[in-house]
Amino acid sequence: MIRVGILGAAKIAPMALIDPARSVPGLEVSSIAARDQTRARAFAFAHKIPKVAKDYQAIIDDPMIDAVYIPLPISAHATWTIQALKAGKHVLCEKSLAANRAQALRMRDVSLDQGLVLMDAFHYRYHPLFEAAVAEVRGGRLGAIQRIDAIFQIQGPVPVDDIRRIYAQGGGVLMDIGCYPVSWVRHLMASEPDVVTASAVTDPANVDVEMTAELCFKNGPTAGITGSMQADQKFKAEIVVTGLAGRMTIKNPLVPQLGHELIIDVEGTSKSRTFTRKPTYQFQLEAFVAAIQDGAPLWTDADDGAKQMAVIDNCYRAAGLPIRGLDDV
């Protein structure tokens, strides 16, 4: 049994870990800690977590804990991930993995030195919908890929005191929302792009609330990514892949369990497919368990996380904005 401790009573924890863990054999959520003990106890009671630790370090030091889930603000990811790894714990860390590439590389190196699993929690990558999309790109039915357009936007406004709008906590639309389109295009192309241009809409604190970027892959394919948390936009998560022979549209690659569609348009014919509604988060946890127990490879391991952060850093630079964690680069 892999016993997991949670660092922080985060809103994402029930959907990303606690609820799907109940359907994953060999995994148990055993403990939680939060900065506020009263909040931690209430959270543990609400979600039937058996133990409340006095603080984050107590979970890391607990010999009964095998793995740690880190849904803390991005600015805290590197510190607590490294401490957990050095204490012999496997880590499932929420995206973005780190504040910048330099931090992610250190996290990767510690995980390798310790021989432990460090997983970047891009849950979408483990769902059959995205696996099928990758197979279409590789299979050649679309012809040589020319262009990918990927967008993820949410309806706002996001409150000014939300961590996604606080630079010092790793905020910014690219770190929380735009990171998905970056990851989508990277994994569809199975290579790392150059950032050609990027443009951001910023709030009064100079934190990006919308980001667009043009990327270029080797041998010519281009990609456009958009992330937004602007007030006048509704939820949209979509990828359009254009090849010489056809086009593929992926509707809601983010959380396909809430509804999705894969549409292939080739030679004047359009075909639509759907896949299981089993949650992406359950697929992710199953992959996490397999990596720990069997050494199974992960699509979003620590090395991939460092490559992801390199693209994000370069988008910020191209947009004329500072990368996150400048005091730790």
Angstrom distance (rounded) from CA 17 to CA 28: 10
In sequence order, what are the beta bridge partners of 118?
91
What local confidence, expressed as pLDDT, does residue 328 receive?
Answer: 64
- The secondary structure of residue 125, as a DSSP letter, is G
Classified as helix, coil or strand, 235 is coil
Q: Which amino acid is at 4?
A: V
DSSP letters spanning 145-210: EEEEEEEEE--SPPPTTSGGG-GGGT-SHHHHTTHHHHHHHHHHHTSPPEEEEEEEEE-TTS-EEE
Q: How far apart are CA 321 and CA 207, in angstroms?
A: 8
Q: Give the DSSP H or E segment for 297.
A: none
At residue 109, the pLDDT reads: 99
Q: Is the pTM of this model over 0.95?
A: yes
The mean of the pLDDT values for the chain is 97
Q: What pLDDT shows up at residue 234? A: 85
- Per-residue model confidence (pLDDT) at position 152: 98
pLDDT in tens, 177-188: 999 999 999 999
Q: What's the pLDDT tens digit per position in 192-240? A: 999 999 999 999 999 999 999 999 999 899 999 999 998 687 899 999 9
| All structural domains of the chain | 2-122+283-299 (3.40.50.720), 128-277 (3.30.360.10)
Q: List, for residues 125-147, the tens digit of each pLDDT value.
A: 999 999 999 999 999 999 999 99
Q: Where are the alpha helices (DSSP H) in the chain?
A: 13, 19-21, 37-47, 56-61, 77-86, 101-114, 128-139, 173-176, 179-189, 280-294, 302-318
3-state secondary structure of 219: coil
